[in-house]
């Protein structure tokens, strides 16, 4: 959910964009893992071919078995991990939107998943099935601050992004706006 979710006066449709895996931190870690893994692989190859392939240090001084071999294996494992991270970013896992439409009387929750038969995750239900907007706050080592939509006959549906918790002010504002828009109570504050 974006921080600037405001409902225009007289609007009957509220759309909230949900940020998926295309975050700065994911780009950062995918790049760092790629660079580190490439360095390890080049160090392992340098020790095998006895030709320096690195700019920073001379890896020809490493004995291939076991140091060069292990560094090469770490490099391959790191490149596989980096490839996974870049694919997750490319597929934008978890990204999508929440659409609340008073004109049609429908609520649509959409997220992108892993490629395959179930890549598009869509949940549609009538607005009258919405019972409340629930705020979930857990502080401590692993804090969690999220909004959930409580729906008749279903589990609570998460409305906010996974990862960085929202600020309390942002969470309260978004929860109150959504509850007011849907005409349901706000729980958990």
pLDDT of residue 4: 46
pLDDT of residue 9: 63
Tell me: the pLDDT tens digits for 51-96? 999 988 898 889 999 999 999 999 999 999 999 999 999 999 999 9
Does the structure show a pLDDT above 50 at 36?
yes
pLDDT band at 167 (very low <50, low <70, confident <90, very high): confident
pLDDT band at 3 (very low <50, low <70, confident <90, very high): very low
Tokens 């009387």 belong to: 105
Tell me: the pLDDT tens digits for 112-144? 999 999 999 999 999 999 999 999 988 888 888
CA pseudo-torsion sign 155, 160, 165, 168:
negative
pLDDT of residue 11: 82
Tell me: the pLDDT tens digits for 5-33? 556 666 889 999 999 999 999 999 999 99
pLDDT of residue 41: 97
pLDDT of residue 140: 83
Query: What SS3 state is found at 175?
Result: helix
Cα end-to-end distance, the chain, whole Å: 19
How is the beta sheet containing 106-112 ordered, strand by strand?
13-18, 96-101, 106-112, 120-126
pLDDT of residue 2: 47
Residue 111 pairs in a beta bridge with 96, 121
pLDDT band at 183 (very low <50, low <70, confident <90, very high): very high
């Amino acid at each position: 959910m974006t921080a600037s979710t405001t409902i225009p006066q007289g609007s009957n449709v509220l759309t909230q964009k949900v940020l998926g895996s295309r975050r700065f931190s994911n780009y950062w870690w995918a790049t760092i893992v790629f660079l580190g893994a490439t360095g390890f692989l080049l160090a392992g190859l340098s020790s095998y071919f006895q030709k320096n392939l690195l700019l920073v240090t001379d890896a020809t001084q490493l004995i291939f078995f076991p140091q060069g071999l292990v560094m090469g294996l770490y490099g391959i494992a790191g490149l596989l991990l980096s490839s996974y991270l870049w694919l997750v970013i490319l597929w934008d896992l978890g990204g999508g939107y929440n659409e609340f439409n008073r004109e049609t009387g429908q609520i649509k929750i959409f997220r992108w998943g892993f490629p395959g038969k179930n890549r598009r995750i869509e949940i549609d239900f009538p607005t009258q099935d919405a019972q409340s907007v629930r705020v979930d706050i857990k502080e401590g080592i692993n804090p969690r601050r999220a909004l959930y939509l409580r729906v008749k006959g279903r589990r609570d549906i998460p409305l906010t992004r996974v990862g960085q918790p929202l600020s309390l002010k942002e969470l309260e504002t978004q929860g109150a706006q959504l509850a007011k828009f849907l005409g349901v109570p706000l729980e958990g504050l």
